[in-house]
Amino acid sequence: MLLAHRIRLEPSLDGRDYFARAAGTARRVWNWALAEWQRQVALGLRPNAMALKKRFNCIKYSDPDWLDEHGQPWLRSIHRDALAVVLPRIGRVLLRERLRWPGKIMGASVSRQADHWYLSVQVEVPEQLAMRSRTSDAVIGVDLGVTAAATLSSGEKIVAPRPLKAALRRLRIRSRRQSRKLEAAKQASGITGPMPKGTRLPVSKNRMKGALSLARLHERIARVRADFTHKLTSRLCRENQAVVIEDLNVSGMLANHKLARAVADVGFHEIRRQLQYKSSRYGTRIVPAYRWYPSSRLCSVCGVRNGELTLAERVWTCAACGIRHDRDVNAAVNFQRLATGALAARTALPEASQAVTPGTAAGTVPAAGGEVTPVRDEHGQQDGSGQEEYAAHVCARF
């Protein structure tokens, strides 16, 4: 099994300088290739990656755009692997923690977030070492939302920290400060209106400090969200043999300007992504429920559909049995029963692929999962990482 471990680096000043130049080189090469690709497409040609690579190799040491102020090819000072953002062999680098898993290192790459550098190592780990044990074999339904990030079929509601919302005022203040510094630099250079493409403004220390302050705030927002997401997804996979979750149209939700910020702040797509890859380590099945399945409108007790339920109604009473439902809890219970078949002898699950059906409700569940495709939209009455402790600083050769 291929696993990745992201470790914070503590490079020397020379190492930081090299990483920055390598990252800048990769960015510039990518932008050149993108512009060349688009130019060829505009001319009606059919570009390909191999032809672009050959063309770049012909010009990188001779074209004036790729020479320094002394007329020398500055690409010679950067390892050739940096063009692919692949970590070259640069000697010893100080790490914040040890590599978690033994196994064959398949690759590594370096990235920067704010003023910190990180190493992502891909390791091929033996199956028996990569697998984790579950604490129980429950089947649970999960309803994702904005008010509560996840509502479980057990009735528990897990509220997301919403770090972007909490830091939005500081983010706006720091962004405005940085924007004013940029406008001042443009005026000092005699530039009015849009800045011409390729123009490089002089960088002041205040502008560098402002950019770093803004980047650190963005990094903190991302860290808080990632911490919540990892803890939630690890818990769901560790405590359940099957997790039923709605197949949300996240891209469509992000197109709604009234919901986009709140949806992105919770991170629906990342929750689904992490559940998918963690389930293979815990032997948990992730069952995506049919996107148009009316989980909120169906009474989880008698199965009658409330066709008049609106999005604003968070609590509703079933007209048939009189049970009062919390909208999100009711949806999560309906998701759970898609897997257990508790409401009817014939539910949505038997219509799914054979890879999904066997062993969903009990017993050993394979890691793979498939989409639940219901026979109808109604059932019942048819009326309507955590991170490990940081170890001591260790040195490793790459």
Q: What positions carry a catalytic annotation?
A: 143, 246, 328
Q: Which residues pair with 325 in a beta bridge?
A: 316
- Looking from the CA of 124 toward its CB, the CA atoms found within 13 Å total 4
Distance of CA 299 to the CA centre of its chain: 33
In angstroms, the CA 345 to CA 340 distance is 10
Going by C-beta distance under 8 Å and a sequence separation of 6 or more, which residues neighbour residue 341?
A: 347, 349, 350, 361
Q: Which residues pair with 395 in a beta bridge?
A: 94
In angstroms, the CA 163 to CA 218 distance is 10
In angstroms, the CA 307 to CA 310 distance is 9
In angstroms, the CA 393 to CA 22 distance is 25
Two tokens at 165?
């919302």
